[in-house]
Chains A and B, each alone.
Chain A
Amino acid sequence: MFYKEWIKIRLVFWLSFVVGIGIVVAMYAIIRGELADMPTNHYIWNMINRNFVFFTLFKFVPLGIGTLIGISQFIPEITEKRLKLTLHLPLNEEKAGLQMVTFGVISIFIIFSLMLFAFLGMGRYFFPFEVMRVAAITVAPWFMAGFTAYFVTGIVAIEPIWKYRIAYLIIGGLFVKMYFVLWEAGSYIHANAFFAALLVLFSVSILFSIYRFRKGEM
């Protein structure tokens, strides 16, 4: 199953990887230029006292990556109802669906981990640990938004009835919006665990769409 999924997403995977890492690198290139004109202490003072967030440049990048991976994985399945082929494989249908989702999650996790690694690793070159700790807490919901966008894309794509698709889009949209309501660094420090729990619940909801597809809902 992973072989098929890889063939579908590999171009988008490498594109997402290059764009994701590229944006982190570009962001620090900009910061490097700014720090050349301004002492680091002053820069950090701005962060603490003026709620200046230096990493807003990639705020929506994980969201875009999650959506793109979802589209590249699920749109080919619903085109010409190819999902029938997947569900006809000699596997339990739920297992087949979960394998597809697992592959997507692993792919996104790899890209996001490398982005986060680059973000924190390069950040430590410029800023102290405390600053990067708050930065990590701040970006966590953005990455979770990427996973959520992936799940929503899957659920919406596979759902056979349009009115349900729209309902899922609205619910998913509101869910994604939740990650971006607060803009200040570290705002979501107490919410991240809750977000993560909701995300786990969301991850299996694609099974409901697969079940409805199998039942032949029209």
Chain B
Amino acid sequence: MENIVECRNLTHYYGDKMVYEDLNFNIKKGSILGLLGKNGTGKTTTINILNGYLTPRSGECIILGENSKNLSPYVKSQIGYLIENHVQYAFMNIYQIEKFYSGFYPNWKRDAYYDLMAKLKVTPKQKISTMSCGQRSQVALGLILAQDPQLLVLDDFTMGLDPGYRRLFIDYLRNYAKAEGKTVFTTSHIIQDMERLIDECIVFDYNKVLVYMPVQEFMTTFKQFDFEVTNPNVEFDKGGLVENYEKMDNSIELFSYSTEEEVKSYLASQGIEYSNFKQVPMTLEDAFIGLTGKY
């Protein structure tokens, strides 16, 4: 399948602080890739590099065949970009902003924008700066839908939205992307929203990529096992079978890609006495926290 985005050996530092080294990922045409990570792990940095707002120390991102450092006007017209906090030209009203953008895009879909605006309880002359965060998110989304780009890049689109607007945004976006064959690259702090939206995920931790695989595969292979240990001072070595674990008194939550039998064998081989062993079903958010830790 054709790749819309190819990032190769991406390395970036802020001063001496490494963000990541040799990051590689592709975004297939028609897929929805979610970039998950805690604050400061490099999500927005990646989005900025992708859009050409940041020059990486080394490596490159190829978007629709062009290096992101020098995107042509045509390729930029094929990228719909939603900035964190749904930033738009807040000094305009919904009529003015549509009029402004429509002049730049030959295939502008005015109706797509106004169909969404009709759902908002705003007056045509109301400035965007006076709208709620949820309403602003719909304006930003409406503009992207009207632009009709091949690739949508959404930076933390759920920030500041109440549950209703989050659900509206996600459902509208997913239906649109799947119906029109659009490619989406997105970040969000709210992992439960991503579960409804994305096909593939990349999980960033500080300086490294923990996971890069389809969400379904991740959710099938990554597991949580809960049990109680006799010795509360027991510790596990991370990196082998154990991806991560959380301990509270005698209760252990152990996260692993291994099967229940393999984990039990491991515990036995380490001489760890345990009871009440069970595999616990996880949401994507549980899996994310299990993988990256609570701190």
Contacts and interface: CB of A to CB of B under 8 A. Distances in A.
A106 to B, nearest CB: 18
B103 A3 contact: yes
B85 to A, nearest CB: 7
Interface in B83-129: 83, 85, 87-92, 96, 99-100, 103-105
Contact of B87 (A3, A81, A213, A216): A81
Contacts of B79: 88
A88 B76 contact: yes
A90 B76 contact: yes
A218 B14 contact: yes
Contacts of A174: none
A135 interface: no
Most chain A C-beta atoms within 10 Å of own C-beta, residue among B52, B55, B74, B96: B52
A116 to B, nearest CB: 30
B73 A91 contact: yes
Contact of A91 (B55, B89, B92, B104): B104
B52 A214 contact: yes
B53 interface: yes
A50 interface: no
A216 B104 contact: no
Interface size class of chain A, counting residues whose CB lies under 8 Å from the partner chain: 20 to 34
Given A85-B87, A218-B14, A4 B73 contact: no
B100 A3 contact: yes
Chain A interface mostly: helix
B77 interface: yes
A84 B89 contact: no
Contact of A4 (B53, B54, B92): B92
B53 A214 contact: yes
Given A84-B51, A215-B54, A89 B104 contact: yes
A215 B55 contact: yes
A8 interface: yes
A212 B53 CA distance: 9
B103 to A, nearest CB: 7
B36 to A, nearest CB: 22
A80 B73 contact: no
Contacts of B73: 90-92
A218 B54 CA distance: 10
Interface in A141-155: none
Most chain B C-beta atoms within 10 Å of own C-beta, residue among A7, A90, A218: A90
Interface string A69-86: 000000010001110110
Contact of A80 (B54, B76, B87): B87
A40 B269 CA distance: 110
A214 B55 CA distance: 8
A137 interface: no
Given A3-B99, A92-B73, A80 B53 contact: no
Interface in A59-105: 76, 80-82, 84-85, 87-92
B76 A216 contact: no
A8 B100 CA distance: 13
Interface string A4-25: 1001100000000000000000
A3 B54 CA distance: 28
Contacts of A80: 83, 85, 87, 90
Nearest to A214: B53
A129 to B, nearest CB: 45
Contact of B104 (A82, A90, A92): A90
B185 interface: no
B81 interface: yes
Contacts of B251: none
Given A3-B99, A82-B87, A215-B55, 16 more contacts: A7-B91, A8-B91, A76-B91, A80-B85, A84-B51, A84-B53, A85-B81, A88-B79, A88-B81, A89-B76, A213-B53, A214-B53, A215-B54, A216-B48, A216-B54, A218-B14
Q: Which 5 A-B pairs have the closest CB atoms?
A: A216-B54, A90-B77, A90-B73, A80-B87, A90-B76
9 contacts: A4-B92, A4-B100, A7-B96, A85-B89, A89-B76, A90-B104, A215-B55, A216-B48, A216-B53
